[in-house]
Copies of this chain bind each other. A is one copy, B any other.
Amino acid sequence: MNIQGFLFSTVEAGIKKAGRKDLGLIFSEVPAAAVAVFTTSTVKAAPVLVSREHIESGIAQALIVNSGNANACTGEPGMIVARETSRLVANGLGIDTTAVQVCSTGVIGVQMPMGKIRNAIPELVEGLNSGTLDDIAQAIMTTDTFPKMEARSGQAGKASYTVAGIAKGAGMIMPNMATMLSFIMTDAAVEPTFLQQTFRNAVDCSFNAITVDGDMSTNDTCLIMANGMSGNPTITAGSPEGNTFAIILNEVLLSLAKQIVKDGEGATKFVEIRIKGAKNDSDAKRAAMAIANSSLVKTAFFGQDANWGRIFAAVGYSGAEVDQSLLSLHFDDVCMARNGIFAGEDAEARGTEVLKQKEFAVSIDLGIGSGTATVYTSDLTHEYISINADYRS
Q: Is the CB of A342 within 8 A of B307?
A: no
Distance between A47 CB and nearest chain B CB, rounded to angstroms: 14
Q: Does A388 contact B (CB under 8 A)?
A: yes
Given contacts A295-B215, A313-B41, contact A307 B341 (CB under 8 A): no
Q: Which of A44, A215, A382 is most buried by chain B, counting CB atoms within 10 A of its CB? A: A215
Q: Does A110 contact B (CB under 8 A)?
A: yes
Q: Which residues of B contact A321 (CB under 8 A)?
A: 42
Give A350-393 interface residues, CB cut-off 8 Å to B.
Answer: 380-382, 384-386, 388-393
CA distance A235 to B388 in the complex (A): 51
Q: Is the CB of B214 within 8 A of A316?
A: no
Q: Does A233 contact B (CB under 8 A)?
A: no
Q: Is the CB of B218 within 8 A of A313?
A: yes
Chain copies in the assembled complex: 2
Query: B-facing mask of A207-227, CB < 8 A → 1, else 0?
Result: 000000111111000000000
Q: Is the CB of A295 within 8 A of B213?
A: yes
CA distance A257 to B171 in the complex (A): 30
Give A130-169 interface residues, CB cut-off 8 Å to B.
Answer: none
Given contacts A73-B341, A215-B294, contact A109 B312 (CB under 8 A): yes
Q: Which residues of B contact A72 (CB under 8 A)?
A: 309, 312-313
Chain A to chain B: the 4 pairs with minimum beta-carbon distance, closest first: A108-B309, A43-B316, A303-B389, A109-B309
11 additional A-B pairs beyond A108-B313, A384-B385, beta carbons within 8 Å, are A40-B317, A43-B312, A43-B316, A108-B309, A109-B309, A215-B294, A215-B317, A218-B309, A295-B388, A296-B388, A307-B391
